C-alpha cells in the first residue's frame, strides 16, 4: 500500500502494481478497499473509486487534506484487510453478433485467423470479470478475453458507436453504455441498457461482477430492445 | 417560471455536481466555474448548491412572469434587463414580465445566472447538473432550447442587500497564469518537456468544451514510449496524448483517462481555466501541495467574508 496525492483534492492508494491490474486478487483487494473506505464516511471525502490497481479518494480540500486522511486510510485498510468484500454478482448479457450490430466481427476474424463463428463461440464461452468501471457511465472493462481474440484498437476511432456496442481492445472486452466516439473493435451489440440513471444502482454492472455473453439473433435483439425501451 | 424565448450558444442548468458515483463511471460534473456559481447563489440568498444557468459565450433571451432576484457572475456576456446593461458579480431585481438578453461577450467564457430559489428541475442522482454526454440532469439532459420553461424554487426567506460583492481580485477571468501541482506521470516526460510546459504559453483551441480545454503550443515529448493503464482523472488534470499537446480536463471530465498526467491545476485556479475562451492563452506555474491547500483555505475564508457581509446587511423579503 502506497499513498500519493493527485492535485490538491485527491488521495491515491496503490493496492497492487500496475502489472497485477485485472488479476482476480487485485479486483478483490480493490473491492474490499473501496467498500471499507466508502462506508467509513471520512469527513470531507466526497467520492471513493477504483481505477486499474489504485483507489482514489476525492475530497473537499477546504475540509481535509492528504496529511489528515493518509493515516486514517492506512488504518482502515489494515483493519479491514482480513474481511472479504461482498460476493460478486453474475450477469448474463444477450448479444447479437456481426452484421450491422457487429461491424468489426469480420476484421477480428481476419486478424485472429479464425472464422467469425469461432470468434463468437470463443467470446461467448468465456467467463469475464468487471475489472473496473470507467470512461463512460457504466462502461465495464472486462478481463478474461481468450488470448486468441486479442486485437489492437482502431487506428482512427469511430465518431459514433451506438449504446450497447460490444467491443474488443487489446486483451479487454467492454460494452458501450452510451452512444459515444470510440476506438474498440465492435463485434456485436446488447439490447440491455447498461446505464439507467432512473434506477438504483444507476448502472447494470459494478466492479467485480461476473459477466457472460449469450448469442441472440437480430429478431431477439429487436424484441429485447423494444422491451428495454431503447 | 423562466421562459426561454430564444436559445443561442450553449446554456445548461448546473449546480455543484453529483459526486459519489465515480465507481459507476459517473463524474461529478456541475458548473465549470464553482466560484461564479457559489458567488451568484450567495448574492440572491440561495444555498451554494442551488442550480443556476451556465451560459457559454453567447446568451439566450429569457423572460419571467413574476418579479424575481437574479445575480450574474463569471463571464461578462453583455447581459441586459429590459435593455439596461447589467454587469456581472451583482444581484438585480427583475420585474414582472422582465426580459433578459445578452448583447455580446466582453470578458470570460462562461457566465452563471442564478435566480432566487434556484432552478428547480428534477434532480438526477442527487444533482440538477446537466451532463450532456450521459444525457441526464437539467432539462432532459440537454442544453436549453427556445420554448423551454424552467421552474424556479421557492425564494429563500431572506434577501441579501445589493451592496457587498466578491473582492475584485478574486473574480475569475480567463487567460493568464494558472498554478499546477506535478502529476503522477510528470517524470514520463523529458526534463526539457517539463520545463517547456512550465514556461510556455498555450492557446485554447476551438475543440475545447466542458470535458476539456485542448491546448496548442510547444509539444511535450515523452522520455520513452510507455503503455499506460486507465487511471483516475479529475477536473484540472492535464493529460498529454501522444501528439504532445496538453488537455486540461474540465467539469465534465471522464472518471478515468489513459494518457500520462503531467500536472493537475490547483482547485482555486480552475475558474481561470473555465473562463478562458478559444484563442486566449494560458501559462502554467508549478506550486507545491502546501501552497495549493493554503490557497483553498484562503478562498474559503474570502467566500465566508462575503457571506457574512451579505447576512449583516440582510433585508427581509
Q: Looking at the structure, tell me whether residues A66 and A145 fall in a common domain.
A: no
Q: Looking at the structure, tell me whether residues A71 and A155 fall in a common domain.
A: no
Q: Looking at the structure, tell me whether residues A128 and A32 fall in a common domain.
A: no
Is a pLDDT exceeding 50 seen at residue B316?
no
Mean pLDDT of A107-121: 96
Residues β-bridged to residue A59:
A45
In a domain, A200, yes or no: yes
Q: Looking at the structure, tell me whether residues A121 and A209 fall in a common domain.
A: yes
Q: Looking at the structure, tell me whether residues A95 and A70 fall in a common domain.
A: no
Q: Looking at the structure, tell me whether residues A151 and A94 fall in a common domain.
A: yes
Residues of B in contact with A42 (CB under 8 A): none
Q: Looking at the structure, tell me whether residues A106 and A65 fall in a common domain.
A: no
Q: CB pairs below 8 Å between A and B: how many?
A: 134
Residue A223, classed as helix, strand or coil, is: helix
Contact status of A180 with chain B (Cβ, < 8 Å): yes
The CATH number of B176-286 is: 2.40.100.10
Contact status of B184 with chain A (Cβ, < 8 Å): yes
B window 231-250, beta carbon within 8 A of A: 231-232, 234, 236-237
Q: Looking at the structure, tell me whether residues A107 and A32 fall in a common domain.
A: no
B114-157 pLDDT per residue, tens: 999 999 999 999 999 999 999 999 999 999 999 999 999 999 98
A168-209 pLDDT per residue, tens: 999 999 999 999 989 999 999 999 999 999 998 999 999 999
Is a pLDDT exceeding 90 seen at residue B281?
yes
pTM above 0.80, yes or no: yes
Q: Looking at the structure, tell me whether residues A115 and A145 fall in a common domain.
A: yes
Kindly give, in sequence order, each residue whose CB lies less than 8 Å from that of residue B24, ignoring residues fewer than 6 positions away.
Answer: A133, A137, A138, A201, A202, A203, A206
B77 to chain A, minimum CA–CA distance in Å?
30
In a domain, A51, yes or no: yes
Q: Looking at the structure, tell me whether residues A61 and A170 fall in a common domain.
A: no
Is a pLDDT exceeding 80 seen at residue A133?
yes
Residue A146 CA, distance from chain mean position: 17
Q: Looking at the structure, tell me whether residues A139 and A75 fall in a common domain.
A: no
Sign of the alpha-carbon dihedral angle for B127, B151, B14, B51: negative
Here the cell at position B265 is 491545476
A80, A101, A117 — which closes off a domain? A80
CATH value at residue A128: 2.40.100.10
Residue A22, classed as helix, strand or coil, is: coil
- pLDDT bin (cut points 50, 70, 90) of residue B314 is low
Q: Pick from A133, A7, A17: which is nearest to B236 by CA?
A: A7
CATH value at residue A12: 3.30.1360.40
Question: Per the CB < 8 Å rule, is B21 touching A51?
Answer: no
Here the cell at position A66 is 492528504
Residue A198 CA, distance from chain mean position: 20
| Partner residue facing B256 (CB), from A7, A65, A135 | A135
DSSP string, A141-187: EEE---GGG-BPPPSS-EEEE-TTEEEEEBTEEEE-SS-EEE-SEEE
Is a pLDDT exceeding 90 seen at residue B158?
no
| Substitution target from A12, A42, A134 for chain B, most B beta carbons within 10 A | A134
Contact status of B29 with chain A (Cβ, < 8 Å): no
B160-217 pLDDT per residue, tens: 876 667 777 778 788 899 999 999 999 999 999 999 999 999 999 999 999 999 999 9
The number of folded domains in chain A is 2
Kindly give, in sequence order, each residue whose CB lies less than 8 Å from that of residue B258, ignoring residues fewer than 6 positions away.
Answer: B228, B229, B230, B231
In a domain, A85, yes or no: no
Q: Looking at the structure, tell me whether residues A65 and A102 fall in a common domain.
A: no
Question: Per the CB < 8 Å rule, is A141 touching B22?
Answer: no
Residues of B in contact with A138 (CB under 8 A): 24-26
In a domain, A164, yes or no: yes
A26, A57, A80 — which closes off a domain? A80
What sections of B27-147 are H helices per DSSP?
A: 34-43
Kindly give, in sequence order, each residue whose CB lies less than 8 Å from that of residue A165, ignoring residues fewer than 6 positions away.
Answer: A101, A175, A176, A182, A184, A186, A188, A189
Question: Per the CB < 8 Å rule, is B232 touching A12?
Answer: yes
A window 37-96, beta carbon within 8 A of B: 38, 46-54, 56, 58, 61-62, 65-66
Residues of chain B with CATH 2.40.100.10: 176-286
**ipTM associated with this complex:** 0.94
A26, A48, A80 — which closes off a domain? A80
| Partner residue facing B24 (CB), from A6, A21, A202 | A202
B58-95 pLDDT per residue, tens: 999 999 999 999 999 999 999 999 999 999 999 999 99
How many angstroms separate the CA atoms of A98 and B279, rounded? 44
* Spatial strand order in the sheet of B107-115: B10-14, B52-56, B107-115, B68-76, B90-94
Write out the residue range of the structural domain in which residue A31 sits. 2-80
In a domain, A214, yes or no: yes
B258-268 pLDDT per residue, tens: 899 999 999 99
How many angstroms separate the CA atoms of B75 and B284, rounded? 21
Amino acid at each position: 500500500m502506497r499513498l500519493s496525492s493527485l492535485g490538491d483534492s485527491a488521495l491515491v492508494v496503490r493496492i497492487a502494481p500496475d502489472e497485477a491490474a485485472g488479476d482476480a486478487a487485485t479486483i478483490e483487494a480493490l473491492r474490499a478497499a473501496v467498500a471499507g473506505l466508502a462506508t467509513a464516511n471520512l469527513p470531507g471525502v466526497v467520492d471513493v473509486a477504483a481505477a486499474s490497481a489504485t483507489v482514489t479518494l476525492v475530497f473537499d480540500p477546504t475540509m481535509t487534506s492528504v496529511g489528515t486522511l493518509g493515516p486514517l486510510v492506512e488504518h482502515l485498510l489494515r483493519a479491514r484487510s482480513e474481511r472479504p468484500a461482498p460476493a460478486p454478482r453474475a450477469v448474463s448479457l444477450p448479444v447479437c453478433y456481426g452484421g450491422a450490430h457487429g461491424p468489426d466481427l469480420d476484421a477480428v476474424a481476419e486478424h485472429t485467423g479464425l472464422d467469425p463463428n469461432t470468434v463468437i463461440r470463443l467470446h461467448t464461452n468465456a467467463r469475464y470479470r468487471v475489472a473496473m468501471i470507467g470512461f463512460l457511465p457504466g462502461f465495464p472493462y472486462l478481463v478474461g478475453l481468450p488470448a486468441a481474440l486479442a486485437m489492437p484498437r482502431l487506428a482512427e476511432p469511430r465518431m459514433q458507436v451506438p449504446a450497447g456496442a460490444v467491443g474488443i481492445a487489446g486483451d479487454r472486452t467492454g460494452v458501450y453504455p452510451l452512444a459515444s466516439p470510440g476506438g474498440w473493435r465492435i463485434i456485436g451489440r446488447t439490447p440491455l441498457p447498461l446505464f439507467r440513471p432512473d434506477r438504483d444502482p444507476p448502472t447494470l454492472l459494478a466492479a467485480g461482477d461476473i459477466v457472460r455473453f449469450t448469442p441472440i439473433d437480430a429478431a431477439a435483439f429487436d424484441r429485447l430492445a423494444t422491451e428495454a425501451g431503447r | 417560471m423562466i421562459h426561454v424565448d430564444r436559445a443561442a450558444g450553449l446554456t445548461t442548468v448546473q449546480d455543484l455536481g453529483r459526486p459519489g458515483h465515480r465507481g459507476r463511471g459517473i463524474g461529478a460534473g456541475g458548473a465549470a466555474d464553482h466560484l461564479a456559481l457559489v458567488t451568484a447563489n450567495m448574492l440572491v440568498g440561495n444555498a451554494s448548491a442551488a442550480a443556476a444557468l451556465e451560459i457559454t459565450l453567447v446568451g439566450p433571451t429569457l423572460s419571467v412572469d413574476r418579479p424575481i432576484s437574479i445575480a450574474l457572475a463569471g463571464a461578462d456576456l453583455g447581459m441586459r434587463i429590459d435593455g439596461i446593461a447589467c454587469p456581472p458579480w451583482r444581484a438585480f431585481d427583475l420585474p414582472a414580465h422582465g426580459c433578459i438578453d445578452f448583447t455580446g461577450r466582453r470578458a470570460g467564457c462562461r457566465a452563471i445566472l442564478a435566480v432566487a430559489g434556484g432552478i428547480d428541475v428534477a434532480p438526477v442522482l442527487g444533482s440538477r447538473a446537466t451532463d450532456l454526454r450521459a444525457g441526464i440532469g437539467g432539462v432532459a439532459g440537454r442544453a436549453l432550447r427556445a420554448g423551454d420553461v424552467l421552474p424556479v424554487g421557492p425564494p429563500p426567506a431572506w434577501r441579501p442587500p445589493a451592496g457587498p460583492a466578491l473582492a475584485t481580485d478574486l473574480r475569475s477571468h480567463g487567460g493568464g497564469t494558472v498554478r499546477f501541482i506535478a502529476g503522477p506521470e510528470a517524470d514520463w516526460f523529458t526534463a526539457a518537456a517539463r520545463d517547456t510546459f512550465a514556461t510556455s504559453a498555450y492557446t485554447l483551441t476551438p475543440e475545447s468544451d466542458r470535458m476539456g480545454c485542448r491546448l496548442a503550443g510547444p509539444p511535450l515529448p515523452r522520455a520513452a514510449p510507455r503503455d499506460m493503464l486507465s487511471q483516475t482523472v479529475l477536473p484540472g488534470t492535464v493529460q498529454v496524448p501522444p501528439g504532445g499537446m496538453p488537455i486540461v480536463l474540465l467539469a465534465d471530465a471522464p472518471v478515468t483517462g489513459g494518457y500520462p498526467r503531467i500536472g493537475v491545476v490547483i482547485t482555486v485556479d480552475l475558474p481561470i481555466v473555465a473562463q478562458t475562451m478559444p484563442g486566449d492563452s494560458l501559462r502554467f506555474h508549478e506550486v507545491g501541495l502546501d501552497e495549493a491547500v493554503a490557497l483553498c483555505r484562503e478562498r474559503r475564508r474570502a467566500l465566508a467574508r462575503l457571506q457574512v457581509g451579505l447576512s449583516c446587511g440582510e433585508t427581509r423579503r
